[in-house]
Structures are given as C-alpha cells and as structure tokens.
Amino acid sequence: MTDPAFGRVDRDGCLVAADPPLADLQRSAGGVPGKQLAIPQVAALAKLAERLGIAVSRSVIAADGDHDVELHIQAEPDDDGVNLAIGGWVEREPAPPAAGDAALREHDFLRADADWLWETDHALRLTALSPDAEPMLGNASAYIGQPLTGLFRFVEREDGALPILNALAEHRRFERQEAVLRQSDGQRVELTAVPLIDGNGRFAGFRGTAAAIESASAPASTSETGGAVSDVFSAQVSQALRAPLDRIVASAHSIEAQLDGPIRGDYAEYAGDIARAGRHLLGLIDDLADLQAVERDDFTPEVQDIDLAEIARDAAGLLTVRAAEKSIRIDRPADDESLPARADYQRVLQILVNLVGNAVRFAPAESQVWIRCETEGDLAAVIVADQGRGIAPDDQPRIFEKFERLGADEPGTGLGLYIARRLARAMGGDINVDSAMGQGARFVLTLPVGD
C-alpha cells in the first residue's frame, strides 16, 4: 500500500475516525475503532503533537500480526484532538529480540580488537564516539549529531556491494565494510556494527566498531581533501548550532504549551514565535548539510527503478495536512497510474515534497494544486501546478539560485529549489518552471524514463 490512511484521535485518546488500513491496524493491536488508540507508536506521536501543539511527523515500525509494518506518521493537533495522516505501509520481517542471549551474541559479534567505537540513531546520525577516536578525528565531539556519511566515505566491494546499505535496509548487523575517513589523508578503516532495537521493536540505529587498515590507500585527491576541510568546518558549526537550538525549541514548546503551569497569553505567543524561529534555523542547518552534499565532486545519487507516480502520491500524502489548513485540494495521480523512471527514490521524494510544498505555500486558500505525470520522449516528467500569484519571467532564473527569495517576507532559506535542481541534474534530469504573473506556476521535474 502506498496511499496514506487518515484518522482522528479525540482529546481522550480514542480513535474516533479511521480509514480501513488504520482501523485494521488498530484491531491487530488489540483495540477497536472508536475506542482507545491501541497502536503504541501512533498513540505516542499523537500525544506528543497534542502536548506540543504543533504538527509532528516521524517514521516508525509497528507490529501487525505476524509481521511488522513501516509507517510514516504525521500528527496535526487542533482544539478537539489530533488528525493523523499515515503513509508508507511497507511490510517488514519482525525485528529480532533486543534482550537476553540473542542481544549478548550480537554484541559479541563486534570486533574486540577495534581501535574505537561509534553509535548512531535511526537516521544514521552519530550519537556517540569513544575517546580513543580522537587520535584519528581530533575533536570527536564535533561530529556528534552529524550524518555517518559525513565521517566516512564507504567503499564498494569488488562485486559492487555496500554491506552497510543492505544491513540498513534489513535492520541487521554487518561486518567488513571498508570506508575512508573523510578528514584524513586517505586512512581506511573497517567497520562492523549491530542494530539497536528500542523497546517498541523499532530500529534505533547502529552500534559499531572501527579498525584501522594498516596499508592506507593513496592520498586523497585535491578536491577530496578540500572537501574534507569543509566537512570538518561544517560539522563543527552545525554541532555548535544544532544542540543549543534543539534546547531552545524544546524549552519554547514547553512554555507555549504551559506544561509547568499557566502563564499570560502574550508570553505563550512569544514562546511560540521563538519555537518557530528556532525550527527555521534548524531547517537552514539541514539545507546547508544538503547543500554541502550536492556540491561535492564525488556526490552521486543512487540510481534504481522507481515509479514517479507512486512517489508523487507519497509526496502529496505527506503534505495533505498542511494543504488542509488552507482548504487546498491536492489533485494527485490516480492510484492505478504508473510512470517508470531511473533515479534515487529518496532524492526524488525530497524534490517533490519541496515542489508540492512550495505550491501549497503560495497557492491561495480554497484553491487547488495539480500533480500530473507524463512522458516526454526519453524523459519521465512530473508536473506540479498551482493557482498562486505566479512568477515574472525575469524572476524565473533567479528562483533556482542559492539563497534567493523573491521577497524579503517570503519564508524559507532560499536553498530548496537550488538543491532540488542540483539533485535532478545529478540524476540525469532537470527542473524547469513555466509561469506568468497572476496565472500560477507550473514546475516540471524530468528524469530518465525507466523500463
């Protein structure tokens, strides 16, 4: 299943409305529609959204009978409860137990002769590095919170396989993954890791070891070493900003939600403004991380067979709640529509979420956003059109430039379309715009057509 399922939880935590897939999952968890929400992962996210008073989204893995299902949940609170939009619905094999003898055997799998230890969260962001990593890394704490790929450049085996990618897809252990330390002169290490599973059976990251390979490879190229200096600087700046911003946003949410007791209404509003500003800055940090990735000389998206129509439906589902806030209808490709292409699934989804999100942002209330899929010769195309104010011809080239916003009052960082076009071109495609003032905008993503 690829289409999102919708539901609603009232203020008492009861699932008062649910599309059939969500209702079935509720029954599988031992509950019934209309009664207390029995799916722990969904219930926890609904309570978090209600407590914070903001939309919250997260990927989780929930039990569904004799198998697990991966879900992408968006919870949007209002005065009377929480609206749910749940996409993904990808079946997974049940996660292995994380306690007892099995867990001990997993940790025995890690190399005892390793030089240092590392650990990540579910999104492969580094959460811990042992002190003995510092001889190779310098200030190891500068990498905490950064993507694992910012520390290592993974090396394919002779057969083209990357053990870490297979392990990530299946949430299992891996060994003998060769990698190059990006901030070194070509020093290679061998990585081994076991999956971390949380109390709800969800994948929570990896705990692993790194062992230096004695015969270091040839020195990195000038472009790689230049990039490494940039990586170190970016990691230090990002870490220096992200940790305090996370604390500021969390504290502001707590004040706005009046968790420690009632306060004056204007103070609660100020706290909400602080939280929104903090989230904007965190978004800027994320955009800068993406910017650094797409501008690297060695940046190469993974190319695979994908269905553009399916990804377009996924993107529309993720933005349904935001569109509903403005009474905007997203007209997406039909459920039985398919458009094969060759590209990186996650990067295409990132592009389409950006394009559809922009369309929703600039479209007037009670209007419509269209998503259409077509074939243009040897290219597959997704068209996103809105009924907004449009873009003047002279401004159309500018919107794809770095940090470019057409108005000082426009939200965002001015990096979204620049990154999206760089990603599209890295996958052999492009993004173009056709618009006129007062007539809306029409963005076209093209990618190589699939088989």
Class of residue 385 by CB neighbours under 10 A (exposed 0-12, middle 13-18, buried 19+): buried
The dihedral built from the CA positions of residue 367, 373, 374 and 379, taken in this order, carries a sign that is positive
In this prediction, residues 387-404 reach a mean pLDDT of 85
Q: Kindly give the pairing relationship between strand 81-92 and strand 5-10.
A: antiparallel
Q: Kindly give the pairing relationship between strand 5-10 and strand 15-18.
A: antiparallel
Percent of the chain with pLDDT over 90: 20
- Reported as a single tens digit per residue, the pLDDT across 306-347 is 999 999 998 888 788 788 889 999 999 998 999 999 998 878
More confident residue, 162 or 433: 433
In this prediction, residues 51-72 reach a mean pLDDT of 75
- φ/ψ of 36, rounded to 5, equals -55, 135
- pTM check: above 0.75: no
Does the structure show a pLDDT above 70 at 299? yes
The answer to whether 335 and 375 have CB atoms below 8 angstroms apart is no
Percent of the chain with pLDDT over 70: 76
Could you say which DSSP state residue 262 is in? -
Question: Residue 136 — pLDDT band, cuts 50, 70, 90?
Answer: confident
More confident residue, 405 or 87: 87
3-state secondary structure at position 58 = strand
- Reported as a single tens digit per residue, the pLDDT across 191-201 is 988 888 776 66
Say what the pLDDT of residue 384 is. Answer: 95
Choice among 135-144, 368-377, 408-417 with the minimum mean pLDDT = 408-417
Residues pairing with 340 in the sheet:
307
Cα–Cα distance measured from residue 369 to residue 388, given in angstroms and rounded to the nearest whole number:
9
- The distance between the two most distant Cα atoms of the chain, rounded to a whole number of Å, is 67
Does the structure show a pLDDT above 70 at 121? yes
Does the structure show a pLDDT above 60 at 377? yes
Say what the pLDDT of residue 28 is. Answer: 83
The answer to whether 194 and 109 have CB atoms below 8 angstroms apart is yes
Question: Residue 276 — pLDDT band, cuts 50, 70, 90?
Answer: low
Residue among 347, 280, 261, 258 nearest 311 (CA): 347
Say what the pLDDT of residue 105 is. Answer: 42
In this prediction, residues 146-167 reach a mean pLDDT of 77
Class of residue 266 by CB neighbours under 10 A (exposed 0-12, middle 13-18, buried 19+): exposed
The pLDDT mean for the chain works out to 78
Does the structure show a pLDDT above 60 at 80? yes
Kindly state the tokens that stand for 430: 């492009």
Cα–Cα distance measured from residue 130 to residue 110, given in angstroms and rounded to the nearest whole number:
14
